[in-house]
Amino acid sequence: MSDFYHVSVLLEEAVDGLAPRSGGVYVDCTLGGAGHSKLILERTAPDGRLIAIDQDLQAIANAKRVLADFTGRFRIVHANFRELKRIVEEYAAEGVDGILFDLGVSSPQLDEGERGFSYMRDAPLDMRMDRTQPFSAYDLVNTWSESQIAEVIFRYGEERWGKRIAEFIVQARKKGPIQTTGQLVDIIKAAIPAAARREGPHPAKRTFQALRIAVNDELNALEQALQDAVDCLKPSGRVSIITFHSLEDRIAKHVLQAAAKGCICPPELPVCQCGRQPKLKLVARKPILPSEAEVERNPRARSAKLRIGERI
């Protein structure tokens, strides 16, 4: 097994946002390279506890080594974070003091060709974060209808050429299955007009993002998990959410703002009839961004945003 090396983004800021303390119980919903988990355990010594969740068995195996010095204080669960409520009910029924989400793809998943996430490396079409699951990017690209593929690329990739890319994918697969990332990149490049390819990011970036989100059902899982996170927090417990693209950030912002909202009665009513009370307060109105120094050290941090909420 190759090393699972990942540089955690907004490491100090996200963990500081949880206000960690000794004796507290915390959840890292995206274990990844275990950078945030390790810092949480350090900050909650000597008796803070951590529940860490990840879909990726390679990440879990690596994390057990990284966190070996804290044996007895953490539990790792192989699951999708959409199961957060069940996991907290099982291991911390009284609720938790902090929950962290570090969204997006870990560096090893991007860098290792065999995972099929990267448009820069030729590899089998895969893109599964949990490789025990049966559905992959190969299945989506080769079996979904043209309209379904176009919808995925447009909605999750915000790619204006989504319809044309889907058309080219369906035409190409008539000659045989699309099996590798390299084949798919060539199809995308052929579909996007040359003038458009010369502008902006790599022409396959948005489509690959869209396929990854669809294969892993990321946005539906995220919205469910964030809503459950608010309910799993003890009073004064906090949630830190690091997002990497606008779709994720929009969901995080919406869930936090909705939880922070009180009365939803029509303004013409003189007295509140709904009785709704806010569950959360926003620790910062605007997202926290990485410093210039962090972006220089790790260009993948450029698009990161951190939002923090505190349970009332």
State pLDDT tens for residues 109-130. Answer: 565 667 899 999 999 999 999 9
- Whether the pLDDT of residue 270 is over 60: the answer is yes
User: Which CATH code of 1.20.120.420, 3.40.50.150, 3.40.50.850, 3.10.20.10 fits the domain covering 11-102+218-311?
Assistant: 3.40.50.150
Contacts for 273-279 with beta carbons within 8 Å, 24 or more apart? 277/312, 278/312, 279/230, 279/231, 279/311, 279/312
pLDDT band at 2 (very low <50, low <70, confident <90, very high): very low
Asked whether the predicted pLDDT for residue 220 surpasses 50, the reply is yes
Tell me, what DSSP letter sits at residue 180? B
| pLDDT at residue 134, rounded to an integer | 95
Residue 5: pLDDT above 60? Answer: no
Q: What fold, for 115-216?
A: DNA polymerase; domain 1 (1.10.150)
**Nearest one of 29, 82, 31, 77 to 221, comparing CA atoms:** 82
* Span 274-288, average pLDDT: 94
What's the rounded mean pLDDT across residues 51-72? 95
Average pLDDT, the chain: 94
Does 277 or 109 have the greater pLDDT score? 277
Does this chain's domain 11-102+218-311 share its CATH topology with 115-216? Answer: no
**Residue 305, pLDDT above cutoff 60:** yes
**Among the ranges given (3-12, 156-165, 243-252), the one the predictor scored with the smallest mean pLDDT:** 3-12
Torsion, CA 148, CA 188, CA 246, CA 33, rounded to 10? 100
pLDDT over 50 at 1, yes or no:
no
The whole-number average pLDDT for the span 229-245 is: 97
Amino acid at 134: P
* Cβ count near 22 (within 10 Å): 10
Check pLDDT > 60 for residue 275. Answer: yes
Which position has the higher pLDDT, 114 or 184? Answer: 184
Any bridge partners for residue 184, and if so which? none
pLDDT at 267 (0 to 100): 87
pLDDT computed for residue 254 by the predictor: 97
Query: Where exactly are the structural domains of the chain?
Result: 11-102+218-311, 115-216
